[in-house]
């Protein structure tokens, strides 16, 4: 129940931010529309904690861009190491999960712009031979940098929620937690970003 309340709070915050930015920029349902506008893929490097150990999750992703802002795709994450669990040292541990990805970039024509992302999907945890399937949800927010037209760098922070873990030696809080993430994103986005005519008229009237 605690996890569900926390997740509901995070999702509500992300949704509120999306609507607020969308209304201010007037681009969510504006003249730009939701047309297919790009293809992107790349790599995640995620810094996080498992138990008392600091680790890096690594993975990749692929997605389709719509309306120059919305990305829909797939991703995967994985970590393999030997940890100290409940006083027993060097226990082999692996955690890997595949996700459905949703992302939204605000004012993406800016060189540096805010982004929000939400990953969710099934995963598998293995500790010293004991294995279980889990469900993972990862909301995050941060900034994206347009380095080149074909390359973007993302810097985000988020929280990993894990449900349905039944391995007795692992508590949920040992595999859940906050994370920082760097994403290397390669691809191409075609077409121009069209600002609303009302915004152009507003600036022209105030400049006269």
Please write the tens of the pLDDT for every residue from 87-100: 667 788 899 999 99
Please write the tens of the pLDDT for every residue from 142-198: 999 999 999 999 999 999 999 999 988 888 888 999 999 999 999 998 876 655 443
Torsion of CA 70, 119, 46, 122, to 10 degrees: -150
Q: What is the DSSP annotation of 110-138?
A: SSEEEEEEEEEEEEEEEETTEEEEEEEEE
Residues in the chain, total: 208
| Alpha helical stretches, state H, the chain | 2-25, 172-175, 197-207
Q: Is the pLDDT of residue 137 over 90?
A: yes
Domain that holds residue 63: 2-207
Please write the tens of the pLDDT for every residue from 110-134: 999 999 999 999 999 998 888 999 9
Q: What is the reported pTM?
A: 0.74
Q: Number of folded domains in the chain?
A: 1
Contact by Cβ (8 Å): 97, 121: yes
pLDDT of residue 28: 39
Nearest to 63 by CA among 104, 21, 13, 113: 104
Can you tell me the distance from the alpha carbon of 152 to that of 149, in angstroms, rounded to the nearest whole number? 8
Please write the tens of the pLDDT for every residue from 75-85: 999 998 887 77
- Give me the percent of the chain exceeding a pLDDT of 70: 75
Give the CATH number for residue 8.
2.40.160.20
Can you tell me the distance from the alpha carbon of 63 to that of 54, in angstroms, rounded to the nearest whole number? 29
pLDDT band at 66 (very low <50, low <70, confident <90, very high): very high
Can you tell me the distance from the alpha carbon of 93 to that of 125, in angstroms, rounded to the nearest whole number? 8
């Amino acid at each position: 129940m605690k996890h569900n309340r926390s997740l509901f709070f995070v999702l509500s915050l992300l949704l509120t931010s999306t609507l607020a930015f969308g209304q201010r920029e007037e681009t969510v349902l504006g003249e730009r529309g939701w047309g297919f506008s790009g293809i992107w893929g790349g790599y995640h490097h995620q810094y996080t904690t498992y138990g008392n150990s600091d680790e890096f999750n690594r993975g990749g992703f692929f997605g389709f861009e719509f309306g120059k802002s919305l990305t829909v795709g797939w991703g995967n994450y994985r970590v393999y190491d030997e940890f100290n669990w409940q006083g027993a040292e060097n226990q082999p541990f692996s955690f890997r999960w595949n996700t459905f990805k949703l992302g939204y970039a605000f004012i993406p024509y800016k060189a540096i712009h805010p982004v929000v992302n939400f990953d969710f999907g099934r995963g598998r945890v293995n500790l010293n031979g004991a294995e279980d399937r889990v469900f993972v949800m990862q909301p995050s927010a941060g900034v994206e940098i347009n380095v080149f037209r074909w390359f973007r760098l993302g810097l985000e922070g988020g929280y990993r929620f894990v449900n349905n873990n039944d391995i007795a030696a692992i508590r949920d809080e040992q595999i859940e937690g906050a994370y920082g993430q760097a994403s290397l994103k390669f691809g191409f986005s075609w077409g121009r970003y069209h600002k609303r005519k009302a915004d152009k008229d507003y600036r022209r009237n105030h400049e006269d």
